[in-house]
Amino acid sequence: MKYFLTLLIVLGLFTNLFSQEKEEETWHCLTDQIYWKLVDENPNLLYQRQYLNEFVKEYIKNNPKSDREEVYVIPVVFHVVHNYGEENISYEQILGAVEQMNKDYRKMRSDTASIHPAFKGIAADVKIEFRLARIDPWGNCTIGVVRTASEATSAGYEAAKEASPTWPPDKYLNIWTVKVLGHGAAGWSYYPGTAPDGSDGIILLHNYVGVSGTSNNGHGSVLTHEAGHYLNLPHTWGNSNEPGLADNCYDDDGIDDTPNTIGHTSCNLEAVTCGSLDNVQNFMEYSYCYKMFTKGQADVMRATLNYWVGDRNNLKTQSNLIATGTNDGYVPQICEPISDFMTQTTMTCTGTTVVYNDLSHNTDFIGTYSWNMENASPSFSNEANPHVVYNEPGVFDVSLTVENESGSDTKLRENYIKVYKPEHGKTLPYTESFESSVFPLVEGEYFNDFIFENAGNSHWERANYSFSGNKSLRISNRNKDSDTRNRVHLPNIYIEDTSENLRVSFKCAYGRINGNNPDNLYFYTSTHCGDSKQLVYLFTGSTLTSTYVSSYGGYVPAEEDWKTHSFLINKNRLKTNNLRLIIESVAGDGKTMYIDDVKIEQAPVLSPEISSNLNVQVYPNPFVNELYIQNSDYNNLLKIEISDYTGRLIVGKQYSSDFIDISSLVKDIPAGIYFLKIESENENKVIKLVKSER
């Protein structure tokens, strides 16, 4: 058999691979690009890798049986890089992830009885355990989790490793968790000795960590798979990240008791692809029913922990376990806390209850909480998660001091929360041309400002090119990860009369790169000073496109590039007299978009007209995962049915709203042609839908 010499494993997992229920969406893999790049930069890695493989073979051949009974312990540190979103996973989720890894590596899963009879006899207790470090590299107390607030969590690839630097890789297995990796990757790991400086370890999305919190049972053993790569295991089919290829039979993983296979993305336990029964339930497969390592794989991982390449051999030594607080009998200390907190929103109306959430970390025990919340009622609290009310408008500070027997820490956030009076704001008709010299503030109205929610390497900004005046709003989505979202909240608007619909119009100039996926614009409304939002309209890139441009250089709009777009906001959405419009750019690698002269005005409610067709719009069409229906007759109950091209009914549901999100109905259906039937009490309409791959 050929031994797998690939230097770098980048796991672009298929969603259906790590889910108890198969899904159609796939995660793309980066192995080929990065592998060849590393080899090209340093061909000596091939020799180093070969030396390791030769050592592994000799070690397994000469290793005494008694040594295989020793349990190897690996100290672990999690670097949670977050921006105060759901990616700031809980300590409990991390504990569960480590527990799941240990169940997998020690053959302690509750479902091992269902391992295929042909492989039960070689299913291994690897006798490797993972423990969260209790002493950091500087001798300080730790719980094995480092939390770093940074936009790097959404920057993709390995930006998070710069935000939260590697702990010494000869002492700890470093694991980074993030919100976005890019290119569809769920996570990756480096083989021993192949990682660039400061990169050794595992990085993966937060929702592939353990079985609880933001993750699920289907994702629970992804970390087990990645740790297998970290410990020198290739995929069961060999040197390809593309399972299912017939050519994979000509390659192999170099381990005698894992049958040669083409690799699987589904759970056919009786599959025979290369002349023998496949070990589909192996952790190094891409199937969703993994349950085991083989004894041969266990030998490879244990041998790797006895070789110097990649410093794996120091991890399990008694001296290192003592230095990291992971040795048997170590009594964990109570660590000094690090204070942190957040609210679900930093914008709200007067008279609204605000809940503060404690996010303090670096300890598993906090004795006391001391909150100071400027101008709130109450303004002081000893609760972990206090509820307060702000009765006056303004911008206010908040601080939290946490304390235990080991020490205390205070977090102060200046100008943290903005409180508005609902009746304060611009009046209709309102036009925003972004001309103010104190932008993003509104001149003379300090609290009535623009709010930005930024992600990625470029954001909404004021530009010197415009349809009218001298300024406009611009964003460039070139080279951003797909679906990167940037939002801008326009100033508050006070609507005296809510009995009429609103019309929103704007000028847009969009230079799009031909052949690239277009960027989209989403519009939301908040009727509570910005602290909640509802999607009201979506403009696709094909609708917005003004011209096609080169991928090089900048885009400056010509006069004819500016196009007018508009939509209605139904009066039934105006539950209060307060409105805040939110514009969201969703990246598709299109290029540069300008917006100017956003106008909001009242539009009279027209009397219903008898029509042979329902007054509905469906978009985008073609679509990928998102699909919406604009229902101009807000109070008209609609029955929605989706059928395939044979007429077979796939799904049906009823709605009554002006803006209907049916994305959940179409997310899991494969690409192809479908028919959408929209039926009201007296009328119906059938629309041909096209679902694209991307």
Same domain, 564 and 637: no
Same domain, 241 and 197: yes
Is 125 a residue whose pLDDT tops 70? yes
Residue 627's contacts (CB-CB under 8 Å, 6 or more residues apart) are: 618, 619, 620, 621, 661, 662, 663, 665, 666, 689
Angle between helix axes 222-230 and 91-105 (nearest 10 degrees) is 60
Same domain, 167 and 255: yes
Same domain, 380 and 454: no
What residues pair up with 226 in beta bridges, in sequence order?
Answer: none
CATH value at residue 552: 2.60.120.200
The predicted-structure confidence for 250-299, as pLDDT tens digits, reads as follows 888 899 999 999 999 889 999 999 999 999 999 999 888 999 999 999 99
Mean local confidence (pLDDT), 123-145 = 98
CATH value at residue 651: 2.60.40.3080
pLDDT of residue 25: 37
pLDDT of residue 516: 83
Domain annotation covers residue 685: yes
Q: Is the pTM value of this prediction over 0.85?
A: no
| Confidence band of 512 (pLDDT split at 50, 70, 90) | very high
In the chain, the percentage of residues whose pLDDT exceeds 70 is 92
Say how many C-beta atoms besides its own lie within 10 A of residue 47's C-beta: 9
Most confident of 170-184, 289-303, 524-538, 568-582: 289-303
Is 6 a residue whose pLDDT tops 70? no
Same domain, 453 and 347: no
Range of the domain at 370: 341-420
The predicted-structure confidence for 653-686, as pLDDT tens digits, reads as follows 887 777 788 888 888 888 888 888 888 777 778 8
Residue 672's contacts (CB-CB under 8 Å, 6 or more residues apart) are: 644, 645, 690, 691
Residue 604's contacts (CB-CB under 8 Å, 6 or more residues apart) are: 500, 501
For the residues of 336-399, what is the DSSP string, one character each?
A: PPB--EEES-SEEETTEEEEEEE--BS-S---EEEEEETTEESSEE-SSS-EEEE-S-EEEEEE
Mean local confidence (pLDDT), 76-85 = 96
| Confidence band of 17 (pLDDT split at 50, 70, 90) | very low
Mean local confidence (pLDDT), 23-44 = 55
Whether residue 213 contacts residue 58, with contact meaning beta carbons closer than 8 Å, is answered with no
Length of the chain: 694
pLDDT of residue 12: 38
| Confidence band of 634 (pLDDT split at 50, 70, 90) | low
Domain annotation covers residue 83: yes
Residue 659, classed as helix, strand or coil, is strand
CATH value at residue 410: 2.60.40.10
Is 307 a residue whose pLDDT tops 50? yes
The predicted-structure confidence for 357-414, as pLDDT tens digits, reads as follows 999 999 999 999 999 999 999 999 999 999 999 999 999 999 999 999 999 999 999 9
Same domain, 30 and 98: yes
pLDDT of residue 155: 84
Q: Which of 603, 635, 670 is the endpoint of a domain?
A: 603
Same domain, 294 and 228: yes
pLDDT higher at 329 or 18: 329
Same domain, 414 and 454: no
- What residue type is assigned to position 544 of the chain? L
| Among the ranges given (19-23, 315-319, 587-591), the one the predictor scored with the smallest mean pLDDT | 19-23
Domain annotation covers residue 425: no
What residues pair up with 174 in beta bridges, in sequence order?
Answer: 77
pLDDT higher at 661 or 600: 600
Same domain, 415 and 436: no
Residue with structure tokens 């304390």? Answer: 403
Whether residue 602 contacts residue 630, with contact meaning beta carbons closer than 8 Å, is answered with no
pLDDT of residue 613: 57
Residue with structure tokens 């053959």? Answer: 107
Number of domains, the chain: 4
CA angle, 170 then 171 then 173, to 5°: 90
Rounded to whole angstroms, how far apart are CA atoms 146 and 136?
A: 10
In the chain, the percentage of residues whose pLDDT exceeds 90 is 58
pLDDT of residue 319: 98
Same domain, 520 and 646: no
pLDDT of residue 353: 95
Residue 248, classed as helix, strand or coil, is helix
Is 20 a residue whose pLDDT tops 70? no
Rounded to whole angstroms, how far apart are CA atoms 636 and 268?
A: 47
Rounded to whole angstroms, how far apart are CA atoms 26 and 13?
A: 7
Rounded to whole angstroms, how far apart are CA atoms 691 and 306?
A: 52
For residue 306, give Cα distances in angstroms to 56, 256, 317.
9, 20, 10
Domain annotation covers residue 353: yes
Q: Which of 603, 625, 656 is the endpoint of a domain?
A: 603
pLDDT of residue 8: 37
Is 149 a residue whose pLDDT tops 60? yes
Same domain, 373 and 448: no
CATH value at residue 16: 3.40.390.10
Domain annotation covers residue 1: no
Mean local confidence (pLDDT), 185-190 = 86
Domain annotation covers residue 610: no
Mean local confidence (pLDDT), 28-55 = 70
Domain annotation covers residue 331: no
Could you tell me the two tokens for 316? Answer: 């399990």
Whether residue 104 contacts residue 127, with contact meaning beta carbons closer than 8 Å, is answered with no
Domain annotation covers residue 458: yes
For residue 690, give Cα distances in angstroms to 660, 661, 669, 677.
18, 17, 11, 14
Mean pLDDT for all residues in the chain:
87
Nearest to 334 by CA among 406, 383, 279: 406
DSSP 34: H
Mean local confidence (pLDDT), 65-76 = 89
Q: Which of 420, 448, 465 is the endpoint of a domain?
A: 420
pLDDT of residue 374: 97
Is 9 a residue whose pLDDT tops 50? no
The predicted-structure confidence for 360-375, as pLDDT tens digits, reads as follows 999 999 999 999 999 9
Angle between helix axes 295-304 and 44-62 (nearest 10 degrees) is 120
What residues pair up with 463 in beta bridges, in sequence order?
Answer: 472
Task: Cis check for the bond before 620: say yes or no (omega within 30 of 0).
Answer: yes
Is 11 a residue whose pLDDT tops 60? no
Same domain, 233 and 380: no
Dihedral, CA of residue 254, residue 257, residue 258 and residue 261, to nearest 10: 90
